[in-house]
Amino acid sequence: MQTEERAGLICKTVLIQAHPAVIYQALTEARDLAHWFCDRVSSEPRVGGELRAHWKTGKESTRGRAIFTRVVPDEVVELRWVDDGQGPLPEDRAHHVLSYTIRTRRGTTEVVMRDSDRPMADSEAFERLNDGWNSVLLELKDYCERKERSSKRRSGDARPAPE
């Protein structure tokens, strides 16, 4: 895992025992995102489409809104956050980009997540965000692997693992 605090970049890689289509769906479809990413969500997974997310933590809640800027089924999902919970950002200040690259590697699927934003002045806040991504990506991994196992049990599917 790589982080670049000064550049405002967090880059992490996770290996998931699921087909790229399962992972892509988990990253783009509202019913899947609500299982691992946020509490409520609407999603239009197409370039220019919106993702609206709502997180609840105790009595507090946060809303965010992003625009899909790149969508390649089973390969790439990229979003530019226009409201990351702190209120809408003016177009010229919306620098927060979140991207996922999905590719098969040695019998598993590798997901590379890049969270790029303006540099954070507070290194403690950066570390909280960095650690938070570890938890979020473990949730994605767990959700996709459970979904893959479940679909194989239902269909008796004997598809080989990704190469």
Domain boundaries, the chain: 2-153
Upper half-sphere CA count for residue 130 (Cβ side, 13 Å): 18
CA distance 59 to 156: 43
Average pLDDT estimate for 2-20: 79
Give the pTM: 0.83
The pLDDT value recorded for residue 3 is: 44
Give percent above pLDDT 70 in the chain: 82
Does 107 have pLDDT greater than 80? yes
Spacing of C-alpha 94 from chain mean position = 18
- 42-48, long-range: CB within 8 Å, 24+ apart, which pairs? 44/68, 45/71, 45/77, 46/71, 47/71
CATH of region 2-153: 3.30.530.20
Is residue 20 within a helix (H) or strand (E), and if so which, with residue range? helix 20-28
> What are the b/e assignments for 26-40, b being 16+ CB within 10 Å?
bbbebebbbbbbbee
Question: What does DSSP say about strands 108-116 and 97-105: parallel, antiparallel, or unpaired?
Answer: antiparallel
Q: What is the pLDDT of residue 5?
A: 46
The residue among 62 and 92 whose pLDDT is bigger is 62
CB 155 within 8 A of CB 28: no
Q: Tell me which H or E stretch contains 104.
A: strand 97-105
Is the pLDDT confidence value at 76 over 80? yes
